């Protein structure tokens, strides 16, 4: 087992395009990215793009490879 495996525990409830979402991942030190759906991430805050209709957004938390442990990722999808 990889003790540094990525865990993305971000709440997957829907948000409106004028809201933001706090991103929660562990262990500390990982990086956030948007896999699909658009928007932007600053630190641990996701800000959606303007959308014309409901849009599914997937955010990924990545823990880099460390020694013999491979990089791991964890995704969460929610609707804007």
pTM, entire model: 0.93
Parallel, antiparallel or unpaired: strands 21-22 and 45-47 = antiparallel
Return d(Cα 31, Cα 63) in angstroms, integer: 7
Q: What is the DSSP string of 5-70?
A: --EE--------TT--EE--EESTT-EEEEEES--EEETTEEEPPP-SS--EEEEEEEE--BTTBP
CB 8 within 8 A of CB 75: yes
pLDDT of residue 66: 83
pLDDT of residue 2: 63
Domain ranges in the chain? 7-79
Q: How would you write the pLDDT of the chain (80 residues) with one tens digit per residue?
A: 566 789 999 999 999 999 999 999 999 999 999 999 999 999 999 999 999 999 999 999 999 998 888 899 999 999 99
pLDDT of residue 3: 62
């Amino acid at each position: 087992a990889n003790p540094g495996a990525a865990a993305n525990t971000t709440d997957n409830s829907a948000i409106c395009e004028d809201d933001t979402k706090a991103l929660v991942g562990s262990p500390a030190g990982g990086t956030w990215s948007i896999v699909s759906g658009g928007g932007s991430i600053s630190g641990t805050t996701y800000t959606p793009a303007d959308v014309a209709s409901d849009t599914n957004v997937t955010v990924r938390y990545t823990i880099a490879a460390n020694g013999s442990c491979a990089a791991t990722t964890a995704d969460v999808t929610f609707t804007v």
